[in-house]
Amino acid sequence: MTYNIAVLPGDGIGPEVTNQAVQILKEIGKIFNHKFNFTEGLIGGIACDKKQIPLPLETIELCKKSDAVLLGAVGGPKWDKLDGENRPETGLLKIRKELNLYANIRPAFMYTALKKACPLKNEIIKDGFNICIVRELTGGIYFGNRGELYCKHGKAAYDTESYNEKEITRIAKTAFETARKRNKIVTSVDKMNVLATSRLWRKIVESISNDYPDVTLNHMLVDNAAMQLICNPHQFDVILTSNMFGDILSDEASVLTGSIGMLPSASLSDESFGLYEPSHGSAPDIAGKNIANPLATILSVAMMLKYSFNLSKEAECIEASVKTVLDEGYRTKDVYSEGTKLVNTEEMGSLVIKNLRTNNL
């Protein structure tokens, strides 16, 4: 089979980590006899520099005619002074909307080998945890009306959160379907004691749950959820939440896995089409140094193989190789601890590639 993949490296460490993920896919292609075609497009700060907009039309067209999209990260201090519409991050929000990528799946799984890199105490970590965050991605406060105005106290600014029945229903279904393939528990996280959107959210999630009697539903306020992730991460299976809460909670969950450089993500539409990217940003503080952890991006292409191309065996081969490399003690700087072997971005990618063939034997 031939698969056409749009590659949008973006800014900062984006090109470094996507390059490693592309090398992995090329090797998977050789091992399993698939053809992956890669076409690069511009997004984010580099698009602002070259095309004066963060998401050029040709990038949208490239993504629409591809079978899946691999994205690095966008943004950085160079573009921080640009106003709203022209910021690199606007490109990211626009591509999610353009491609109708409403379901963001972020698995936060702790590899036993990375126990030492987890900031939690041993008695809390126990045997690790396995959480899947299902975040609504094309609605909520990131897409609501925003603006600035003058009031009697001077300048003021506002952002608005809104959710409708359709948006909540489809993401709730994604969460329940995901839970069905896992431990069958959905924790829906909201702020219903304050927000009207959360009260609608809770009502609709309750009604969808009637179609999934085999899945246990519980509700949690977001402030408590932030605390529970630290105190007792084991209680979670699938966390269903809104765009902004999911953004924040997934960063928190990522650091429990050892580093944000470990957390992959898939952003899916109704069809099998998806955009795959690490959960981290462009990490300007380490960009260009060949020290970024490429595993989140490598694990994101494993998700691409599974969700968009239905190639589970190939995806598992990548996941197994990542586990082997970590078990053998190789670490990028972000997850390094005494007694382990420090490697750079390229070396980590090469180690995973080396193990792909072994894991497919």
In angstroms, the CA 111 to CA 263 distance is 11
Q: Is 142 a catalytic residue?
A: yes
Helix 14-32 × helix 345-359 angle, to 10°: 20
> Please, which residue, 198 or 241, has the CB nearer to ligand NAD?
241
105 near ligand NAD, rule: CB under 6 A:
no
318-337 residues in contact with ligand NAD (CB under 6 A) are 334
264 near ligand NAD, rule: CB under 6 A:
no
282 near ligand NAD, rule: CB under 6 A:
yes
Q: Name 189's Cβ contacts closer than 8 Å, sequence gap at least 6.
A: 219, 220, 221, 222, 225, 239, 240, 241, 242, 245, 249
With beta carbons less than 8 A apart as the criterion, state whether 300 and 290 touch.
Answer: no
281 near ligand NAD, rule: CB under 6 A:
yes
Written as one letter, the residue type at 226 is A
Q: How far is the CB of 356 from ligand NAD (least distance, A)?
A: 20
128-167 residues in contact with ligand NAD (CB under 6 A) are none
**CA-based max dimension of the chain:** 71
73 near ligand NAD, rule: CB under 6 A:
yes
Catalytic residue of the set 97, 116, 184, 251: 251
Q: Is 251 a catalytic residue?
A: yes
In angstroms, the CA 42 to CA 266 distance is 19
**φ and ψ at 73, to 5 degrees?**
-160, 160
7 near ligand NAD, rule: CB under 6 A:
no
> Please, which residue, 6 or 286, has the CB nearer to ligand NAD?
286
> Please, which residue, 293 or 324, has the CB nearer to ligand NAD?
293
Reading the block at residue 310, the tokens are: 């239905």
- The one segment of 181-189, 199-207, 256-264, 320-328 that binds ligand NAD by CB under 6 A: 256-264
106 near ligand NAD, rule: CB under 6 A:
no
- The one segment of 33-41, 183-191, 267-275, 284-292 that binds ligand NAD by CB under 6 A: 284-292
Draw the binding track, 9-48, toward ligand NAD (x: CB under 6 A; -: no contact): ----x---x-------------------------------
SS3 string of 94-127?
Answer: HHHHHCCCCEEEEEEECCHHHHHHCCCCHHHHCC
Q: Name 153's Cβ contacts closer than 8 Å, sequence gap at least 6.
A: none
> Please, which residue, 16 or 190, has the CB nearer to ligand NAD?
16
Q: Name 272's Cβ contacts closer than 8 Å, sequence gap at least 6.
A: 307, 308, 309, 310
Q: How far apart are the first and last CA of the chain?
A: 21
- Give burial (CB, 10 Å; 0-12/13-18/19+) of 65: exposed
Q: How far is the CB of 241 from ligand NAD (least distance, A)?
A: 17
Catalytic residue of the set 142, 163, 276, 330: 142
**Of 5, 46, 48, 74, which one interacts with ligand NAD (CB under 6 A)?**
74
**Of 58, 211, 285, 327, which one interacts with ligand NAD (CB under 6 A)?**
285
3-state secondary structure of 88: helix
Catalytic residue of the set 49, 80, 223, 270: 223
Q: How far is the CB of 160 from ligand NAD (least distance, A)?
A: 21
110 near ligand NAD, rule: CB under 6 A:
no
DSSP label at residue 54: S
76 near ligand NAD, rule: CB under 6 A:
yes
In angstroms, the CA 349 to CA 325 distance is 10
Active site amino acids: 142, 191, 223, 247, 251
Footprint of ligand NAD on this chain (CB under 6 A)? 13, 17, 73-76, 89, 92, 259-261, 277, 280-286, 292-293, 296, 334
